[in-house]
Structure 1
């Protein structure tokens, strides 16, 4: 009888242990599922934020590309005007047109982008992006491609500003206070001081800005398609996630 009681107690205790273990395993499984769900939700939110940042960046890049293209066209028109006019002295109407084109060709360009959402994701763990290819492209875009383009453009801007837009520009051009079209007053290039529109100094000035604009166009021609391709990939990943959740 004692043996029967001991056997029953052992089976009861074993059953209790099994139930406890099963309960622990279920709790761990539920906890793992919750953590996975939270991580996936966080990934979706951050990828969507990066998508919005990138979309705004592309609009900014396209606006910058339009300004750079306008500057490039102005430079080409200047060279065409100077090449077509055999005389060193130009007619007044041509001079006014050249003055405007020179002003258009020397507009400053600022390259900027928003990496706030990417940095937030990176600080919490970039490995939370499950798609290996997408993760690699995000890191390449924000940690290499964009910073490199910005650095190279800043180097070009600094060189042009130091060598051309300061010393040479002040010697070659008249400046006056003007309205920028939005009610803001500032000091802007107005007209060429001399009569010789084929002077070596002026031609060097034009060449420097031609090089600067060419550099901008080259960099934008690389960064814009890459940004648009990354945006499309983000759209596809987010759409797939939406389908899975629905």
Structure 2
């Protein structure tokens, strides 16, 4: 009963800025935005998402009371989960609460990551303006999957 999130952020460039002296950034607002983003927001998002994953084991232990889990091998050799309910779970309030909690946690994680992405995009625009490189970057795709 899981759709997992693997949340990893790369802060190598930020660590390089910190090691050479973040105080070299003369704009206080930009410096504050950078430290807030990397030292607080990204770490906080990671903590929330990892905390939800850490309680996944207890959810699975709870679910084991109602469902038999097995791994079945297909003729092509692929292993697939084989999940069979032990009893009818229709109308079971405990299962309904578990599903609601998982959906809620996943929704919160998606929302948190969307907000973080938007904040990162705003920070990048501010940095581009600060460094006066907006015109240089306009023809460079912003994502690996964006058409070149």
What is the TM-score normalised by the length of structure 2? Answer: 0.72
CA separation of 1:178 and 1:154: change in aligned 2, threshold 3 A: farther
Identify the match of residue 169 of structure 1 among 51, 63, 70. 63
Corresponding residue pairs, total:
131
CA contact (8 A) 2:68 2:84 kept: yes
Correspondence for 1:231 among 108, 115, 124: 124
The 1:174–1:222 alpha-carbon spacing in structure 2 relative to 1, beyond 3 Å, is same
Is the contact between residue 128 and residue 134 of structure 2 (CA under 8 Å) also seen in structure 1? no
Higher relative contact order (CA 8 A, sep 6+): 1
Structure 1 unmatched ranges of 5 or more: 1-101, 180-184
Q: Determine which of 28, 35, 38 is the counterpart of 1:142.
A: 38
Unaligned runs of 5+ in 2: 137-148
1:175/1:230 CA distance change after superposition, 3 Å: farther
Moved over 3 A (4+): 240-243
Q: TM-score, normalised by structure 1?
A: 0.46
- For the aligned residue pairs, the C-alpha RMSD in angstroms reads 2.8
Q: Which residue of 2 aligns with 1:193?
A: 85
**Distance between the aligned counterparts of 2:81 and 2:63, measured in 1?**
9
Shift of 1:239: 2.8
